Structure 1
C-alpha cells in the first residue's frame, strides 16, 4: 500500500487502506443498524457510529509515523465517545449485535498501535475497559461480567502490541543495514571520484611534461624553441601545484596558448581545499578561458578566494594600458561569462596598473 510518508514502514495509507476502511465502514454500519433494536437510545448508537468512522478515517490519512499527537488525541477521544455507547446496551441478557462498538474501537486502536502510538492505544483501550466494567456494575451484572465482554479484545490488543514491537526492531535493523550500505556506496563513490581526479591530473602532467622530457633526451643541442617549450611545461606544472582547482584541462591548454603569445599567466588557489560548486566552476573556467584566448600581451591573474567570501573567484587581465577585473560569485544561472560582474573596464585613458591585487 503506497503512502505519502517517507518514514512509514507498513505505510497504512493509500488505496489499499482506503478500501479496507470502506469495508470497515460498511460492516460496522450494517452491524449498528442491525443492533438498533436492542439499543435503549438508537440515536446515540448512530452518534457512536459516526465517531468511530471519523476516527478510522483519521487513521488512514497520510502522515509520518508515529502519527501526529493531535491526530492521536482526536482518535482516542472519538474511541472513548464510541465506548460510551455501552450504556445504550440492555441491562439484562446477551446484548447481541449491539456490542459492535467494542470490535470497532479495538480495530481502530490496532491501527493506532501500528501507526506508532502503542501507549495511547492502551489508554484508549483502558478507557473502553473501565467504561464497560462501570456499566456492568451499574446495571447489576457485576465487574467480572464487564471485564468478560472486553477480555477477548484485550488479547488481540496484546498480540498487535507485541507485533508492533517486533516490527519496530525489524525496522531499526533494516535502517542500520541501509545506513551501512549507503555508507559503503558513498565511500566507494568518493574513492572512485578521487581516483578519477588523480588519473585526470596524471594525464595533464604527462601531456605537459612528457613532450619536454622527450625533447630534452633527444636533443644534442638545445635551441631557443626548446627552451620556450621547457618554460611552458614548467609553467603548466607550477599551475598544477599552486592552483589545481583552476588548472583544468581546458584552462591549462588556454594558458599554454596565452603564454606562447607572451602573456604572463598566474593561477592562484587560496580556498585551502574547499569545494567549488560545479556550476560555478564551469563559469570560472569559461570566463578564464575567454580572457586567456583574447589576450595577446600583458598579464592575467586568476585567483580562487578563501572560502566564506561572497566572491568565489576573480580574473584580472591587464594589457599594459588598461585592466579588466571580473568577479564571479555563487549567484547566477550557470552561464559564463555573462553573469560575471565586471568591476572595471578599459577606458583607454586612465589605465589600472598590474600591481592591483586580484
Structure 2
C-alpha cells in the first residue's frame, strides 16, 4: 500500500486542483477540457485503489464531487450541473475498487508463493552446499587417514615413525576442525614442521577473519607460517580472535620466554 503521507497528498489532488481551476472558469462552464481536473484526478484515485488505498480514494472522490457541486451552487447554476460533471467519475473508481478487492488478494498470494519458492531454493542450495562440503571433507579424510588406518587394521605393531605420523595426522585433522580459517598449505606445512621439531602447536578460529579481504588474509597466514617456522621448542598457540577485537590474530609463544604477537587490525574486518 501507498505510504500514508503520499496517500493524503494524492487524495487531496481532486479537491485542490478542481478548486483552483473552477475559481477562474466562466459561468456557465464551457465544459470539455475546461474541467480537466475531474478526469485527471480520477486517474489518481484509480491508481490509489490499485495500490491498496481504496477508502482514501473514495474520500478524495467525494471531496472532489462536493467541490464541483459547491462551485455550481455558489455561481447560481444549482447543484445539478456540478453533480453531472463529477458523478460520472465514480464509475472508474468503482471499477478500480472491484479490481482491488478481487485481484489484490490474488497478487498477494502470488507474492507469497514466490517468496516461499525463493526460500525453498535457498534451503536446497544450502543443503547442496553442505553435502558438497561434507563430500570434500570425506575425500580429504580418506586421502589423509586411510593409509594409516589400513596399517592399523592389519593388527601389526606400529613402528615409532608410524606412531609419530599418527600423532601428527591427528593434530592436523584437529586443526581442520578447530581452525578452518588457518587451513592454508603454507600454515599447515609450517605447523607440521614445528610439531616434528617437538613444538606443541594449538590453532583456534573464532571467526575474526570472516569478511577480511583475501589479500589481507593471505598476509596474515604468511605471518603465522613465518612465526611457526621460527620456533624450535616449547609451545605455540595461534588464535583467530572473535570479531570486534583490537587485533585479528594472536600468537602466544612459550619457550625460553613467553611472548605474545598481535597481527592485523580489527577495523580491517
TM-score, normalized by the shorter chain, greater than 0.5: yes
In structure 1, the residue matched to 2:170 is 234
- Report how far residue 277 of structure 1 moved: 1.4
**2: distance between equivalents of 1:302 and 1:191?**
32
The C-alpha deviation readout for 1:118-171, integer Å capped at 9, x for no partner, is 433323221210122223334454434432222221111111233244453244
Aligned pairs (5 A) from 1:34-53: none
Structure 1 residues 247, 214: closer, same or farther in 2, change over 3 A? farther
Pick the aligned partner of 1:225 from 161, 170, 191.
161
* More deviation, 206-215/150-159: 206-215
In structure 2, the residue matched to 1:60 is none
The structure carrying a bigger helix percent of its residues is 2
8 A contact 1:208–1:236 mirrored in 2: no
Superposition misfits of 4+ residues, deviation over 6 angstroms = none
Alpha-carbon RMSD? 3.5
**2: distance between equivalents of 1:195 and 1:239?**
21
Q: Does 2:148 correspond to 1:212?
A: yes
Pick the aligned partner of 2:129 from 193, 200, 212.
193
In structure 2, the residue matched to 1:350 is none
Structure 1 residues 78, 145: closer, same or farther in 2, change over 3 A? closer
Q: What's the secondary structure of 1:331's corresponding residue?
A: helix
8 A contact 1:291–1:317 mirrored in 2: no
In structure 2, the residue matched to 1:80 is 15
In structure 1, the residue matched to 2:259 is 323
The number of residue pairs the alignment matches comes to 263
Structure 1 residues 246, 82: closer, same or farther in 2, change over 3 A? closer
8 A contact 1:67–1:115 mirrored in 2: no
Q: Does 2:203 correspond to 1:267?
A: yes
**2: distance between equivalents of 1:195 and 1:253?**
28
Structure with higher RCO (Cα < 8 A, 6+ apart): 2
In structure 1, the residue matched to 2:104 is 168
Q: What's the secondary structure of 1:315's corresponding residue?
A: strand
Normalising by structure 2, report the TM-score.
Answer: 0.76
Structure 1 residues 217, 127: closer, same or farther in 2, change over 3 A? closer
In structure 1, the residue matched to 2:27 is 90
**1: distance between equivalents of 2:85 and 2:79?**
10
The C-alpha deviation readout for 1:290-335, integer Å capped at 9, x for no partner, is 4334434332112345677555542223453563422455422x7x
In structure 2, the residue matched to 1:149 is 85
Normalising by structure 1, report the TM-score.
Answer: 0.60
Q: Does 2:212 correspond to 1:279?
A: yes
Structure 1 residues 140, 323: closer, same or farther in 2, change over 3 A? closer
**1: distance between equivalents of 2:184 and 2:142?**
12
**2: distance between equivalents of 1:95 and 1:216?**
102
Q: Which runs of 5+ in 1 are unaligned?
A: 1-64, 335-358
